[in-house]
Amino acid sequence: MANNLYQWLVVGIVAALHPFFVSVIELNHNAKGRSFETSIKVFNDDFEAALRKFGNTKIDLAKPADKAAVDKLIAKYIAQKLLVKVDGKTIELHYLGYEQKQESTWIYLETENIASVKKVEVNCSFLYDFQDKQINIFNVKANGMEQNYKLDYPKTTASFAF
C-alpha cells in the first residue's frame, strides 16, 4: 500500500510539472467466485485517441454511434495489448463492458474458473502505441495479499508471486 501511495505521489508531482499519461490496471482473484476480475482505468481522451489510431475510425466513447462496434474494438484492442498468465497458463480476458466516470473510462473484464492463484504474469503494452510516456500501474490482489508495480514505456512485463 505504501508503495502504491508513493507511486501516486510521484505521478502527482510529475503531473504538476508536465503532462502525464497513466492507466491503472487492477487484477483481482475472487476466490469465492472462482474468477479473475480485471478493471482498467484510463483517461478518456487518451483511450479514444489510441482506439482511433488502432481501429482507423472515429471514436466517441460518451456517445458512440454504434455501441456494439465500439465494444468489439475495445475488446480487440485489449486482447492485443494485455496478456495475463495465471500459474503459467494464459487466461482469456472476457470483455464485459466499459463506463465513463468524469474524465476516466473504466473497462471491465473477467475470467471464470480460476480456483487458485500462485503466480500472475503480465505482458502489457496498453496505450504504448499512443504515447511513449505511458505508465501502466498494476494493482494485483490474490490470497489476501496485494502487490503493485509500475510499467514505464517501453517495459512490458511484470510478475507477481503469491
- Domain assignments of the chain as residue spans, ordered by start: 21-161
- In angstroms, the CA 110 to CA 27 distance is 9
CA angle 150, 126, 149 (to 5 degrees): 15
pLDDT digit string, tens, across residues 60-82? 999 999 999 999 999 999 999 99
β-pair type (134-142, 21-30): parallel
| pLDDT digits 0-9 by tens, 84-111 | 999 999 999 999 999 999 899 999 999 9
* CA–CA distance, 105 with 162 (Å, rounded to integer): 29
Q: What is the model's pTM?
A: 0.87
Q: Are 136 and 151 in contact (CB under 8 A)?
A: yes
Work out the average pLDDT over 145-157.
97
Confidence band, pLDDT 50/70/90 cuts, at residue 20: confident
Rounded CA-CA distance 102/85 in Å is 32
